[in-house]
Structure 1
Amino acid sequence: MNAIFVAALLAGLSYWLGSRLALDPVLLAAWKSAGVALLAFWAASRARNTDGWLLAAVMALGATGDVLIELAGLQAGAAAFLAGHIVAITLYLRNRDAERGWRPLFAIPMVIAVAALLPADPAAMPPVALYSLGLATMAACAAMSRFNIAAIGAWLFVASDLLIFARLGPLAGSIIPDLLVWPLYFGGQAMIAWDVSRRASAPAPQPRAEPAAARSPR
């Protein structure tokens, strides 16, 4: 099954170059979604419990978002990604590491504020803020989970989307989003898929037992 993961990497990485070709929009959308769709198939083939199937759903909704952005527009794609973020939040909260605390949640309002202020059109602020609430909550919950590599991938996802919003404002016409949006997004998705899938079947960490010498006598 690891061959499927390698195929997903090849499809996703090659799209970065393929997106610069003058291709039919349907073919380009299929190529764009192939990497994350293969990650979804790979995750489903390895799923042995609820966490594994939640991961497959997250990747499937991501692939759907990739297609919709190309064929139906940014808002339709964002709706699919937002649904994926909600599923991912469920996945990460099921695997929360109590020792990490709740501090990552403080990043949520900062991400929302930055994202909402980036587009030049004020009318874009409400939908961007709503989407960013799901995006930032997803990343914060990943940071509170036992999936360390997936947490990094989730924040790469955030960085990718912030660049998309910046392309609607201060980075309009800049080459920076064109160079970084896709590598950050797909790299983040691949890290999430790899980390969650390989650890989904492992038992969640248990709280450390208090040393016998430190226990109160009974």
Structure 2
Amino acid sequence: MMQGRGLARIVLIAAVIAGASYLYVVANHVSGPLAVTWKGAGVALLAVYAALLARNADGWLIALVMAFGAIGDVLLDAQGLLEGAVAFLVGHIVAIILYLRNRRSILALSQKWLATLVLPLAVLTAVWSVPIESRPIVGIYTGFVAAMAAAAWISRFPRYRTGIGAMMFVASDLLIFARMGPLAGEAWVSFAIWGLYFGGQLLIVLGVTQTLANEDPARLSARPDCGY
């Protein structure tokens, strides 16, 4: 077990290095197979990290979420927007299942409001940002992303990691859509998109895996609420 955690820690460090260093690709507009591989490496390593720590269904679900994220990263550049979006969509559905399996038993009113409002606000922002012909598909996709974030926010996983990470994911996607409209040509947007996306994925996987690792196995079925 200790050796497995040691290996997982090494993989996590490698994931952070791969994800952070991808900003070099963004800054220098690098393209080609190396850039595509580099882009997928960070979240793929997060999937490996989660898999190394997985001890139950929830652990494997978060590994699967990261795996589909990595597939989406690669397909976006190697195949196209639609193929990448489908992979991310599957990952969001898996994430929603994970978070709803782990709902908090008690929610503050402010937490309920945020979880309720994130979906309509995100969808409205997204569709406003893109051309009219793109609005139906963008709205549907954004609905799934926002539903994932809402489910993460009301889950028992820490809001200051998994919850905020999911919201960062939403913000990253909204910037992608804004780059198609009001923020077209703004150089800083590409850096913000990747920083929010990879940082969000990192916080999500850390919040889930650390919560699961710290649990008393005898209490797994009880699913206690987790703190911030």
TM-score by length of structure 1 reads 0.90
Match of 1:73 in 2: 80
**Alignment deviations for residues 21-65 of structure 1 (CA, whole Å, 9 cap, x no partner):** 354511101000000000000100110000000000000000000
Q: What are the residue-to-residue correspondences of 1:138-153 with 2, within 5 Å?
A: 138-147=148-157, 148=159, 149-153=161-165
Structure 1 runs not aligned, ≥5 long: 207-218
> Which of 150, 169, 182 is equivalent to 1:170?
182
For 1:111 and 1:24, the matched residues in 2 are separated by 30
Structure whose alpha-carbon radius of gyration is higher: 1
Query: For the aligned residues, what is the CA RMSD?
Result: 1.5
The answer to whether the aligner puts 1:88 opposite 2:99 as a matched pair is no
Contact 2:76–2:83, Cα closer than 8 Å, also in 1: yes
Normalized per residue, the structure richer in helix is 2
Match of 1:214 in 2: none
For 1:176 and 1:190, the matched residues in 2 are separated by 21
Change (3 A) 1:110 1:23: closer
Deviates more, 1:52-61 or 1:21-30: 21-30
Tell me the CA shift for residue 166 of structure 1.
0.1
> Which of 41, 44, 48 is equivalent to 1:34?
41
Tell me the CA shift for residue 107 of structure 1.
1.9
% identical equivalent positions:
47
Q: What are the residue-to-residue correspondences of 1:55-204 with 2, within 5 Å?
A: 55-100=62-107, 102-103=112-113, 104-119=115-130, 121-147=131-157, 148=159, 149-201=161-213, 202=215, 203=220, 204=223
Deviates more, 1:173-182 or 1:133-142: 173-182
For 2:146 and 2:31, the matched residues in 1 are separated by 34
For 2:92 and 2:104, the matched residues in 1 are separated by 19
Tell me the CA shift for residue 176 of structure 1.
2.8
Structure 2 runs not aligned, ≥5 long: 1-7
Q: How many residues align?
A: 206
**Alignment deviations for residues 134-171 of structure 1 (CA, whole Å, 9 cap, x no partner):** 00000000000111210000000011000000000000
